[in-house]
Structure 1
Amino acid sequence: MGIWSWLIILVFSIVMLYPYVRIIRRTGHSGWWVLIMFVPLVNLAMLWVFAFAKWPAVDRANT
């Protein structure tokens, strides 16, 4: 693969990760959790953890 292929992959990854970071940060968690997406099987487990965990940002809004 040439340099252009790697550049396209990098740009595509950044474009795809940005919305996920925004969503995770809105839940009150660190945006660095998005790196879990790159670990096979752990990413599926974390999806379920985020789905059913208490979100600090939502808890603060309800009090």
Structure 2
Amino acid sequence: LFQRFDNGNGILSLTEIDRVVVHWYPEFGTNRQAIIRAYRAADSDRSGFIELKEFQCLIALL
């Protein structure tokens, strides 16, 4: 799933995460604040991006 939405750089931006959420969790598609909160909580190294190891946490938070 991670690779499907990654643009090839090995990390997911908030824009790429939006695509994941709209595709797999359409009920959250209109709740941008919830997506942003989950994104920030999953970004454990505070890089501003979601790496593969953080992606599992993000999915669990959604």
What TM-score comes out, normalization by structure 2 length? 0.29
Larger radius of gyration: 1
What TM-score comes out, normalization by structure 1 length? 0.29
Which protein, 1 or 2, shows the higher relative CO under an 8 Å CA cutoff with sep ≥ 6? 2
The structure with the largest strand share of the pair is 2
